[in-house]
Amino acid sequence: MTGPLPGEELPGEELLVERLRQGGRLSVVTGAGVSAASGVPTFRDAGGLWRGFRAEELATPQAFARDPEAVWEWYDWRRGQIAACDPNPAHETLAAWSRRPGFRLVTQNVDGLHERAGTEAVVRFHGSIWELGCWDGCAEAPARWWDDSVPLDPRPPRCPACGGLARPGVVWFGEGIDPAVLEAALGATACDVFLVVGTSSLVHPAAGLIDEARRQGAFTVEINPEATPVSESADLVLPGPAEAVLPRVDAALT
Ligand code: BV8
Ligand code: ZN
pLDDT tens string 203-222: 999 999 999 999 999 999 99
Phi, psi angle pair for 44, to nearest 5°: -115, -5
Indicate whether 23 and 121 sit together in one domain. Answer: yes
Cis amide leading into 239 (omega within 30): no
Within-domain flag for 46: no
Give which of 208, 209, 244 is closest to 224, Cα–Cα.
244
Whether 126 is catalytic is yes
Ligand nearest to the CA of 137: 2
Q: Which residues form the domain of 230?
A: 1-40+87-126+177-254
Indicate whether 194 and 240 sit together in one domain. Answer: yes
Distance CA 112, CA 123 (A): 11
Q: Is 213 exposed, middle or buried (0-12, 13-18, 19+ CB in 10 A)?
A: buried
pLDDT digits (tens, 9 = 90+) for 119-175: 999 999 999 999 999 999 999 999 999 999 999 999 999 999 999 999 999 999 999
Mutation pick for ligand 1 pocket among 29, 35, 43 (CB with most ligand atoms within 8 Å): 43
Q: What is the three-class DSSP state of 180?
A: helix
Counting atoms of ligand 1 from 1, which one is nearest the CA of 174?
Answer: 25
pTM, whole model, 2 decimals? 0.95
CA of 211 to the centre of ligand 1 (A): 16
Confidence check: pLDDT of 94 > 70: yes
Indicate whether 93 and 154 sit together in one domain. Answer: no
pLDDT at 51: 78
Distance CA 214, CA 216 (A): 5
Indicate whether 97 and 30 sit together in one domain. Answer: yes
Counting atoms of ligand 1 from 1, which one is nearest the CA of 58?
Answer: 44
Counting atoms of ligand 1 from 1, which one is nearest the CA of 43?
Answer: 60
Average pLDDT estimate for 14-28: 96
pLDDT at 48: 65
> Atom 7 in ligand 1: which residue has the minimum CA distance?
204
